[in-house]
Amino acid sequence: MRGWRALLLALALAATAPAPAAEPATTIVLHAARLLDVDSGRMLAPGEVLVRGERIVAVGTAVERPREARVIDLGDRTLLPGFVDAHVHLFLHPGAEDAQTFDESVPERTIRATLAARADLLAGFTAERDMGTEGAGSAASAVRDAIDRGWIPGPRLRVCGNAIDILGGHEDALGRNPEQHALPNATPADSTAELVRVIRAQVKEGADFIKIYQTGKDRMQHGELRAPYQFSEEELRAAVVEAARTGRRVAVHATAEPGTGMAVRAGVASVDHAYQLSDDTMRRMRERGIFAVPTFAVLEYFIDHATTPEAAERYRAIQQYHVAQFRRQLAAGVPITLGSDVGPFPHGSQAREFVLLVEHGMTPLDALRAGTRDGARLLDWERDLGHLAPGCYADVVAVPGNPLEDIRVVQRVDFVMKGGVIYRNDPSS
């Protein structure tokens, strides 16, 4: 309990302290038994990082120790770049999704989102892509900005606002009484002109990227996954062009062909979920560096928490299908980033996704790359984070033991630094 009290105190201080940038640059040397260079795959032993202000100055087995430096010895731990989760929902929590978006006010959901952001950061996730507020409009822009200003603790965020859907699409309150005119959990657009207009509105409200629901709902039929596509390839291409006009990219929720292939040919940045990709789609993704973002942790949670045996069976069938397809995607060299879809399951528990990537066929090193370096690339932050290198933000986490030997240790992060500020250091936990 003492650890938790100290943690809460530290959080309270972090919440009330002025923005880190306003403080004089402090110098810190982090020392631990190991440090993983995710680019080369080499494990340095010991590992040290010299931090000045919000950036990394040097990395090695023995860095310079300036006289003013505070040295933090983390003992038998491995230093890693802060984790990157490319698919989160800060505005969702466990429980019926439609009910929470219907019953809870946007102010209430925003307060919950700030708590979710804190939980994710303390679990080691120092950068995240929020894949839609699901009916809370552009509130994610305010959460992102509050974190950047140092008002509240949380990961660096890329946000898309409300995401985009079609009439009668995946997020359009399906199954509700039509006479109640329940609002969809994403902004509808039913033509190229509407799509462009909605993108412009979301950019105006602070979106860093655009999220489009491209398939849904999913069902298994004769051992194959089926999901209707939502936008035509032409519409998606127009969306990609409009987003690019202001330097932004498009991400799609897309589970099955032909929707996944249409999105890839239109030039999206990532295909999220990606349960089913044709050989041609996989080849294009490899050639163009388009990421698949498998989301295993959320499916596992849905299976474990299904309300009926039939629902559990339905999720299990999709999971088994997804795992088989994922192995094909790995063999085909499809770029993969880590994305957990956390929100429907508890924030702060999503390091489980690393473990599942390894269980389903990735090497521990590649899984760690997917959740650091490659995630940074997808979030357009590859120069600033995702590896421990001079010039990068000092986003550093530590785990007990060696994650290349046992990936599960990533679920036991006990040191978190973001931008040179220490948010967690409780090795006794």
Interface contacts to Zn ion, rule CB under 5 A: 131, 341
Cβ proximity to Zn ion, 85 vs 341, nearer residue: 341
* Cα 357 from Cα 84, distance rounded (Å): 14
DSSP state of 223: T
Cβ proximity to Zn ion, 77 vs 144, nearer residue: 144
Is residue 196 within 8 A of residue 129, CB to CB? The reply is: no
* Cα 248 from Cα 224, distance rounded (Å): 34
Is residue 80 within 8 A of residue 121, CB to CB? The reply is: no
Find the shortest distance in angstroms from Cβ 163 to Zn ion.
Answer: 9
Cβ proximity to Zn ion, 84 vs 417, nearer residue: 84
Find the shortest distance in angstroms from Cβ 88 to Zn ion.
Answer: 8
- Antiparallel, parallel or unpaired: β 83-88 and 42-44: unpaired
Cβ proximity to Zn ion, 242 vs 341, nearer residue: 341
3-class DSSP state of 387: coil
**H or E stretch including 81?**
strand 77-81
Find the shortest distance in angstroms from Cβ 164 to Zn ion.
Answer: 14
Find the shortest distance in angstroms from Cβ 104 to Zn ion.
Answer: 18
Cβ proximity to Zn ion, 131 vs 358, nearer residue: 131
Cβ proximity to Zn ion, 341 vs 414, nearer residue: 341
Closest CA to 335 of 265, 270, 262, 251: 270
Cis bond upstream, residue 155 (ω within 30): no
Cis bond upstream, residue 418 (ω within 30): no
CA 220 to chain CA mean position, Å: 27
Amino acid at site 187 = T
3-class DSSP state of 371: coil
Q: Each residue of 140-157: b (16+ CB within 10 Å) or e?
A: bbbbbebbeebbbbbbbb
Cβ proximity to Zn ion, 37 vs 98, nearer residue: 98
Find the shortest distance in angstroms from Cβ 87 to Zn ion.
Answer: 6
Cβ proximity to Zn ion, 335 vs 343, nearer residue: 343
Is residue 189 within 8 A of residue 198, CB to CB? The reply is: yes
Find the shortest distance in angstroms from Cβ 134 to Zn ion.
Answer: 8
CA 202 to chain CA mean position, Å: 20
